[in-house]
Amino acid sequence: MSTTPAKVAVLASGRGSNLAALLEARTRGELPVEFVLVGSDKAGAGALRLAEAANIPTLALDPRSHADRRAFDQELLRRVAASGADWLVLAGFMRVLDGAALKPWIGRIINIHPSLLPKYRGLHTHRRALEAGDAEHGASVHFVTAELDGGPVIAQAYLPIEAGDDEDRLAQRLLPLEHRLLPAVLGLLASGRLQWDGRAARFDGRPLAAPLRLGDDGLRP
Ligand code: GRF
């Protein structure tokens, strides 16, 4: 296996707490990757400030300065490719990427989504889980395809819903689990234990029959 650390680019639209978790995991020596770019569709994104503070190259690209969605996505992913990234992580990137632009990245791009997919694709996941009366909620990391939050799920973190939960409290309680889930999945991908076989995920050489599950000691089948 190559000793060169995997190169990772991250796209984020917001505060960047998941990016912060990735950077902290790397600082602790738990995630041997090199962050080569943090990009955003929002110049004011907190994630860009975090990246600057960590001396990671940043890119802010304004969708309004492009002819259409596809032109923006193609330019964005062209710039990501130019960074030399092997992997692309969507960490709170609030746009659906165009299928044609995504093509070269299929199998090398993951997203974190705050629900137990396939439940609650899209927005307002915490509210929807509460309204449905679910006993548990969670977060998923999945391979990205052109379908919104629809690619094969790699791993999930589960959280029991409590009587006192409202939308904000549930989101707050889920976030620390997201912050463990995303670095754990990226670590497995970067080490080669987790792979994409063209259709689905393989773990330690075997097709992943069900998503890995985050426990106290990390990800387990
Ligand atoms: C997270 O809840 C993530 O699951 C979702 O968007 C949120 C991003 O939060 N996709 P942050 O910017 O990482 O703090």
pLDDT tens digits, 159-181: 999 999 999 999 999 999 999 99
- Given this model, what pLDDT does residue 7 score? 98
**pLDDT single digits (tens) 105-131:** 999 999 999 999 999 999 999 999 999
**What is the chain's mean pLDDT, rounded?**
96
- Given this model, what pLDDT does residue 148 score? 86
Judged against a pLDDT cut of 90, whether residue 50 lies above it is answered with yes
**pLDDT single digits (tens) 178-216:** 999 999 999 999 999 999 998 889 999 999 999 999 999
- Given this model, what pLDDT does residue 170 score? 98
**Interval 94-98 mean pLDDT:** 93
**Interval 147-155 mean pLDDT:** 91
CA distance 218 to 193: 14
**pLDDT confidence tier of residue 149, bands split at 50, 70 and 90:** confident
The token pair that represents 185 in the structure block: 């999945």
Distance 53 CA to ligand 1 centre (A): 19
Nearest residue to 32 (alpha-carbon basis) of 3, 12, 1: 3
Residue 126 CA: distances (Å) to CA of 61, 112, 121, 151: 29, 14, 11, 20
173 touches ligand 1 (CB under 6 Å): no
CA dihedral 101, 47, 90, 95 (to 10 degrees): -60
Judged against a pLDDT cut of 70, whether residue 2 lies above it is answered with no
Which pTM was predicted? 0.97
User: Taking the CA of residue 135 as centre, how many other CA atoms within 13 Å lie in the half-sphere pointing to its CB?
Assistant: 0
- Given this model, what pLDDT does residue 81 score? 98
**Interval 71-91 mean pLDDT:** 98
Q: Is the peptide bond before 118 cis (omega within 30 degrees of 0)?
A: yes
Distance 132 CA to ligand 1 centre (A): 22
What single-letter amino acid sits at 120?
Answer: Y
What single-letter amino acid sits at 16?
Answer: G
13 touches ligand 1 (CB under 6 Å): no
Pocket test for ligand 1, best of 22, 173, 178 (most atoms within 8 A of CB): 178
Q: Which atom of ligand 1 is nearest to the CA of 46?
A: 12
114 touches ligand 1 (CB under 6 Å): yes
CA distance 167 to 103: 35
Interacting residues of 69 by C-beta distance below 8 A, sequence separation 6+: 63, 98
Interacting residues of 113 by C-beta distance below 8 A, sequence separation 6+: 121, 125, 139, 140, 141, 142, 149
12 touches ligand 1 (CB under 6 Å): yes
- Given this model, what pLDDT does residue 210 score? 96
Is 113 labeled as catalytic in the residue annotation?
A: yes
Q: Which atom of ligand 1 is nearest to the CA of 16?
A: 12
- Given this model, what pLDDT does residue 147 score? 87
Distance 64 CA to ligand 1 centre (A): 23
Distance 4 CA to ligand 1 centre (A): 29
- Given this model, what pLDDT does residue 199 score? 85
